[in-house]
Amino acid sequence: MKPVIYLAFVDDWEVRGNGSGDPRVLQFEPMRKLVGIFNRHGIRGSFNVEVMQQLAYRRMQERFPELKAVADEWEEVVKDAFRQGHDIQLHLHPQWGKATYEGRGKWRVDGDWSILNYPGSEMRAMLACGKKYLEGLLRGIDPNYSCVSFRAGSWCAAPSDSLLPVLSELGFVFDMSIVAGIRYDTPEVKLDYTQCEETFAPYYPEMKDARRVAGAPQPMVCLPTNSFSGARFALLRRDVGKARMALRRKMSQLRNGGGRPAGPSRGHSGEEWTNRGEAGAAGLMKRILRRYIIGQTHIADLSRLNYAMMQRMMAGIRKQAEASGLARVPVILENHTKDILDYSHIERFAASVARAPDITTMTLTDIAHELRNGTFQIRTA
């Protein structure tokens, strides 16, 4: 019998990591559109909401009343999605901890991007505050709501002496920050998940290093966010299409006198995801070689995939599920509302998932419940 795949559509809901971008453009409207897509196809999605950003808006709202309006709308958008049956869980970028607002939509965000670089006491305070905030916000709608899963900002979850123990102490059931095969070495983000011992199924992690599988049950579970390789031709088609869109925007600017087009800001991501040694012409050639000839690991991030790449992703998931020997396999798909430019690929993919006889969709809260009651087998070394 073929395994049943329990697919979670998960979104990291945030502005840019450097604080740029209009929340109404990058968060509020995209969430409403995604909720509409999910509702049309009978899918209950999950949104990992970035709470440190919201707390920064609240902290500065007395001095800058425009921030209060945004923070109020943030809460209403979250509560509206929750009322419609979608899940809300915790995402956290610690660089927002001491962020300051400079006016006119500009933030100064100087904190360290990795929660792993903070003392255990600060780490615990941030996580406890985020969990308390979400539970306080949503228990007025559902008294049984609990914050049970976590995604670390910039994927930074291992190794750490503190993170998994703190999550366990606070009542989290599982973490989904590990993405097998990725590695970053940049001024903002440093991590290496190229040697993870479990790449697909739920597992009990070594509590000081989530990349390792423990030999016995532990207080926390890790469920990797899915990743896949290949899809080189589909990736090339996607990148050519994006280049054409960028060229059309540039030509439009030139026709309008060279200025930037009017409208709300989408912000800028900077170079936080470009590994050292990949700048300049030599770095460009290295990236081209890896992307289109050798092949690279792709995070299963729907905002960055076209439909052909999503098909390749699902083929890999089915193959891994069969090879796992498990009857029931939970799988985490990623998304970033801030990066979506074309919703048609996600709509088409959602429709195909809804028709698939071997796929059931579920929320992160559902997964936590099934991990607790033994529906999903959790691996040990």
Categorize the per-residue pLDDT at 285 as very low, low, confident or very high, splitting at 50, 70 and 90.
low
Categorize the per-residue pLDDT at 249 as very low, low, confident or very high, splitting at 50, 70 and 90.
low
DSSP 115-135: GGGS-HHHHHHHHHHHHHHHH
Calculate mean pLDDT across residues 59-65.
Answer: 97
Q: What is the largest CA-CA distance in the chain?
A: 65
pTM of the model: 0.90
Model confidence at 238: pLDDT above 80: no
Report the alpha-carbon distance of residue 15 to residue 106 in Å, rounded. 12
The class of domain 4-229+264-373 in CATH terms is: alpha beta
pLDDT of amino acid 275: 81
167-195, pLDDT tens digit by residue?
A: 999 999 999 999 999 999 999 999 999 99
Per the DSSP assignment, residues forming a β-bridge with 206 are 209
Calculate mean pLDDT across residues 257-261.
Answer: 55
Model confidence at 156: pLDDT above 80: yes
In the chain, the DSSP E strands lie at 4-13, 46-50, 87-92, 100-103, 106-108, 149-152, 174-175, 183-185, 190-192, 205-206, 209-213, 221-222, 227-228, 298-299, 328-333, 359-361
Residue bearing the bigger pLDDT, 21 or 271: 21
12-38, pLDDT tens digit by residue?
A: 999 999 999 999 999 999 999 999 999
